[in-house]
A and B are shown apart, each in its own frame.
Chain A
Amino acid sequence: MILNWELALTEGFIGALRGVIDLAKIVVPIMIGLEILRDLKVLDRLAGVLHPTVKFMGISKEGTFPLLVGIVFGLSYGSGVLIQAANEGKLPRQERYLIGMFLSLCHAIIEDTFIFVALGATPLILVGFRLVPAVVFTWLLFLAFRRWSFAGGERVSGRSTV
């Protein structure tokens, strides 16, 4: 087979450009939407409401906010809030581990999902299946912490009974 360089380059360039424009059509509105969400402080309010649903994984009220920020906005935002909370002494070490475990498996679900939806993936599968192992691994880590009661484990086990 003889390689037609000109054809390959043209097809490559036009295809790539078209792909970037298609992604831009999705990325730009998402970024604007996320900024609106941030300025409306929706997640601050949601954290209180959603705390009962994440309590079983050992996440406290203070931890729910960085967790939500990471899930919605992504890992760098989430860990920023996480470090800030840690510096203020609000989050025990174990809980930072738990949030880190959850977020490394499941973050930026809005942006990531839409990138792939643009390519033809099914959104519900991406979101649903991503949450499952994040919850399972975080819960298992919490159980492990409780069993071994790590340095300062008293706080973790104390929380679980609340």
Chain B
Amino acid sequence: MVSSDTFRRGLHKGLSTTWELGKVTVPLYIIITLLKYSGILPHIARWLSPIMSIFGLPGEAAVPLVTGYVLHLYAAAGAILSLDLNAREVTILSLMLCFCHSLLVEGAITRKTRIGALPLTVARLASSLAFGIGLNLVL
């Protein structure tokens, strides 16, 4: 049954998630902003742009992509916030990240169900890259 406890639990979960994401998002956002201002990020972006252009993304989009793959979606969201990406780029990047994220933590969870983490990770990465390329073509 839905009671006041339901709302309390929901509020608590929402706020603790916000706190968790803030702990990662705020420092990451600041670091990326500093990288942007210092000219290091544009340098990395130029270097990575041939790879990222396969997905129709600018080079600096590699930062949220890798962050999301390794850490989690909230960290990736923080990185996306600090960059100037348009709606199309955010949609492509989001779909790629939805397929494949938090590989460290979620790999451990899937291992608990006794399903091999490696084949699942391969399927996730393959879907992420394939749909990134595909969405760039159709969108």
Residues of chain A at the chain B interface (Cβ within 8 Å): 1, 3-5, 7-9, 11-13, 15-17, 19-20, 23-24, 27-36, 38-40, 75-76, 79, 82-83, 86, 93, 96-97, 100-101, 104-105, 112-113, 115-116, 118-122, 125-126, 129-130, 133, 137
Chain A positions within 8 Å of B30 at CB level: 9, 12-13, 16
In the bound complex, CA of A7 to CA of B33 (Å): 10
Kindly report which residue of chain B lies nearest to residue A28, judged by CB atoms: B14
- Among A93, A121, A125, the most chain B Cβ lie within 10 Å of the Cβ of A121
Kindly report which residue of chain B lies nearest to residue A34, judged by CB atoms: B10
Chain A positions within 8 Å of B17 at CB level: 27, 31
In the bound complex, CA of A33 to CA of B13 (Å): 11
Chain A positions within 8 Å of B14 at CB level: 24, 27-32
Known contacts A8-B37, A16-B81, A20-B18; decide if A105 and B113 are in contact (CB<8 Å): no
Among A1, A24, A31, A75, which residue has its beta carbon within 8 angstroms of that of B106? A75
**Is residue B65 contacting chain A, with contact meaning CB distance below 8 A?**
no
Chain A positions within 8 Å of B99 at CB level: 105, 130, 133
B10→A31 contact, CB < 8 A: yes
Chain B positions within 8 Å of A35 at CB level: 6-7, 9-10, 13
Chain B positions within 8 Å of A39 at CB level: 1-3, 6
In the bound complex, CA of A76 to CA of B2 (Å): 22
Interface size class of B (residues with CB under 8 A): 35 or more
Known contacts A35-B9, A79-B112, A97-B115; decide if A12 and B82 are in contact (CB<8 Å): yes
In the bound complex, CA of A86 to CA of B81 (Å): 41
Question: Majority SS of interface residues in chain B?
Answer: helix
Chain A positions within 8 Å of B31 at CB level: 12
Chain A positions within 8 Å of B21 at CB level: 20, 23, 27
A75 to chain B: closest CB distance in Å? 5
A105→B127 contact, CB < 8 A: yes
Among B22, B36, B95, B106, which residue has its beta carbon within 8 angstroms of that of A129? B95
B34→A9 contact, CB < 8 A: yes
Kindly report which residue of chain A lies nearest to residue B37, judged by CB atoms: A8
A79→B94 contact, CB < 8 A: no
Known contacts A12-B82, A23-B21, A27-B14; decide if A129 and B135 are in contact (CB<8 Å): yes
**Chain B, range 15-71, C-beta contacts under 8 Å to A:** 15, 17-18, 21-22, 25-26, 28-34, 36-39
A122→B91 contact, CB < 8 A: yes
B113→A82 contact, CB < 8 A: yes
Which A-B residue pairs are the 7 nearest by beta carbons? A32-B10, A28-B14, A12-B33, A16-B29, A116-B94, A12-B30, A31-B14
**Assuming A115-B73, A130-B95, what are 17 further A-B pairs, CB within 8 angstroms?**
A3-B39, A9-B33, A15-B81, A16-B78, A16-B81, A24-B15, A28-B14, A31-B14, A31-B17, A79-B110, A83-B112, A105-B99, A105-B123, A116-B91, A118-B77, A122-B87, A125-B91
